């Protein structure tokens, strides 16, 4: 790591005496080691400023239970890998100011290069002025040119009021570069302090937002403005804290217990993603053991025979993926759907699944957007999508209709229909109505589709369908004094035998094979090997589609 404090001359000076004393005198600085080249006073002065700035940052941040910007970078990046760009840019060395309120540079995560910037709250509250904006934009330009991920550590009071429109303009420049980088290089935002006003849209444009239970806050208008405008009294935490955004708004994709946990999650996610859309995801060595095969074989015991009995889809996923390791995204939001990263046979994949443990795995507006955005993320960065289906359909009711289930539910269709990465889908139990189509069906673009023998695929479940189809028959039976319940049970059984099971889908070619549950991992592994050579095809000359937003 190149750093002024690691300069050979500065190290030599510090061995011979106190840096404060030496920095006050050119003669003293030059006479420490006469046999070496003269120690330049400017270098010593800059080193003193750098040391004092970090000491000041520690005093201010540690008192709030927060790390300094440099401590965060040290935790995020591989040891000794950080190469800073423009440490003193925006500062005044002779005037005693070390630099601007943001640190920029490059480092490595698991040996792979990344671009990072960390806002320094100890300097002018981490506010963004013209110089800070230029530093960030310069870093982003370099990251796009080098095709490496961009990680932002946010801890800022927002735009620097004293600089007015000059500060606001820089946000516009950052927004534009973030959009340019979107889908080209992974972008992750770590919110480890306040993020308010227009500044919130920088993270909002990135791929993943990570917050913590304490200290993280995001809001367009703060509590004081809210009270002045509406009369509502609310705390910063209740308005835009990490818990709120991870569970209710869906703004945060992960809620860290503390800064270390949040940073570790960022490192973990990067291990599954390529450096850019031009690259393939990393490949890891994997050798299946007997225990791994035994786990894969236990999958059938997890899913109950009763199609109304819930179970935890995470148990199924852990039986399928390498070492049972699954990194969830949006874990606390829209819990009727599950999305996240895993490896299968050493290759990173994105996993999308319904969660029968939560509202039977139904699709609502939030679950739809959660799935759609994750599929788009996987498609942007060349991760195959494995979809595990067990859902009764879209959630009915006026509340969902008024919340925009038509518009927001269509996002899942758009994501799957436009994805060109390998897609493998397995129907475990239920796949009814529109939800069957949108959850990675062959009709919408999936490459390989499988179903378990007990799976049910139809417009409606048997009971609901029979009640609609035979409603007049039930009225007549009741008038004739017949046993309506017995008739309903008979017709339901017949409907299940002829319509609801997966046989019709097999006959139509919508399902490629019926597999035993124990074959699920094997079927996925072999499918992904088959699809490894799949390439993107541009079918039209359009600029881009008009996604339902």
Please list the active-site residues.
Answer: 197-198, 434-435
Task: Locate all alpha helices (DSSP H) within 63-101, ordered by sequence.
Answer: 69-76
Which tokens in the block code for residue 117? 């910037």
Per-residue burial over 231-259, b if 16 or more Cβ lie within 10 Å, else e, is eeeeebbebbbbbbbbeeebbbbbbbebb
Nearest to 216 by CA among 121, 347, 141: 121
Nearest to 137 by CA among 122, 115, 121, 108: 115
Pairing state between β 456-458 and 423-432: parallel
Query: Looking at residue 284, what DSSP letter applies?
Result: -
State the Cα–Cα distance between residues 204 and 430, nearest whole angstrom.
Answer: 35
Q: Is 59 exposed, middle or buried (0-12, 13-18, 19+ CB in 10 A)?
A: exposed
Please check whether residue 440 is in contact with residue 485, taking contact to mean a CB–CB distance below 8 angstroms: no
Pairing state between β 194-196 and 337-344: unpaired
Please check whether residue 153 is in contact with residue 190, taking contact to mean a CB–CB distance below 8 angstroms: yes
Query: Looking at residue 111, what DSSP letter applies?
Result: T
CA distances from 449 to 88, 394, 528 (A): 57, 21, 12
Pairing state between β 150-154 and 187-191: parallel
State the Cα–Cα distance between residues 97 and 165, nearest whole angstrom.
Answer: 24
263: left (phi over 0), alpha (psi -120 to 50) or beta: alpha
SS3 7: coil
State the Cα–Cα distance between residues 512 and 518, nearest whole angstrom.
Answer: 17
CB-based contacts of 373: which residues, under 8 Å, 6+ apart?
A: 411, 415
């Amino acid at each position: 790591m190149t750093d002024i404090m690691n300069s050979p001359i500065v190290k030599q000076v510090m061995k011979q005496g106190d840096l404060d004393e030496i920095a006050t005198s050119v003669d003293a600085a030059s006479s420490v080691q006469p046999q070496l080249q003269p120690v330049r006073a400017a270098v010593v002065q800059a080193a003193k400023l750098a040391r004092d700035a970090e000491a000041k940052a520690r005093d201010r941040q540690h008192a709030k239970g927060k790390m300094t910007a440099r401590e965060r970078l040290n935790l995020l990046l591989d040891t000794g890998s950080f190469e800073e760009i423009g440490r003193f840019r925006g500062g005044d060395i002779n005037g005693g100011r070390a630099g601007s309120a943001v640190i920029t540079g490059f480092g490595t995560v698991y040996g792979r290069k990344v671009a990072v910037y960390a806002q320094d709250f100890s300097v002018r509250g981490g506010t963004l002025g013209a110089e800070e904006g230029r530093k960030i934009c310069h870093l982003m330009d370099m990251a796009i040119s080098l095709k490496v991920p961009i990680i932002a550590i946010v801890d800022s009071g927002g735009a620097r009021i004293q600089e007015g429109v000059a500060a606001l303009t820089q946000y516009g420049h950052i927004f534009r570069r973030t959009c340019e980088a979107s889908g080209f290089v992974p972008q992750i935002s770590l919110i480890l302090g306040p993020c308010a006003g227009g500044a919130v849209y920088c993270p909002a444009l990135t791929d993943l937002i990570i917050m913590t239970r304490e200290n993280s806050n995001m809001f367009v208008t703060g509590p004081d403005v809210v009270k002045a405008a509406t009369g509502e009294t609310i705390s910063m935490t209740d308005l835009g804290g990490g818990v709120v955004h991870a569970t209710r708004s869906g703004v945060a994709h992960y809620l860290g217990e503390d800064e270390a946990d949040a940073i570790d999650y960022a490192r973990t996610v990067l291990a599954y993603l390529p450096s850019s859309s031009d690259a393939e995801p990393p490949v890891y060595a994997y050798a299946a053991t007997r225990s791994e095969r035994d786990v894969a074989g236990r999958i059938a015991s997890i899913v109950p025979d009763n199609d109304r009995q819930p179970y935890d889809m995470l148990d199924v996923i852990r039986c399928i993926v390498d070492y049972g390791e699954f990194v969830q995204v949006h874990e606390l939001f829209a819990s009727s759907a599950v999305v996240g990263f895993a490896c299968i046979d050493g290759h990173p994949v994105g996993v999308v699944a319904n969660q029968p443990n939560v509202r039977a795995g139904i699709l609502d507006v939030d679950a739809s957007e959660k799935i759609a955005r994750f599929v788009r993320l996987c498609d942007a960065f060349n991760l195959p999508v494995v979809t595990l289906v067990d859902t009764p359909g879209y959630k009915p009711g006026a509340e969902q209709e008024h919340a925009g289930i038509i518009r927001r539910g269509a996002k899942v269709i758009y994501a799957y229909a436009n994805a060109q990465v390998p897609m493998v889908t397995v129907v475990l139990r239920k796949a009814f109505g529109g939800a069957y189509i949108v959850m990675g069906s062959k009709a919408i673009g999936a490459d390989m589709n499988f179903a378990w023998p007990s799976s049910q695929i139809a417009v409606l479940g048997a009971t609901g369908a029979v009640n609609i189809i035979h409603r007049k028959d039930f009225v007549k039976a009741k008038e004739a004094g017949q046993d309506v319940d017995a008739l309903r049970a008979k017709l339901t059984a017949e409907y299940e035998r002829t319509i609801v099971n997966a046989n019709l889908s097999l006959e139509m070619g919508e399902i490629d094979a019926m597999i035993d549950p124990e074959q699920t991992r094997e079927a996925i592994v072999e499918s992904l090997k088959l699809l490894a050579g799949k390439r993107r095809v541009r079918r039209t000359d359009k600029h881009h589609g008009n996604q339902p937003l």
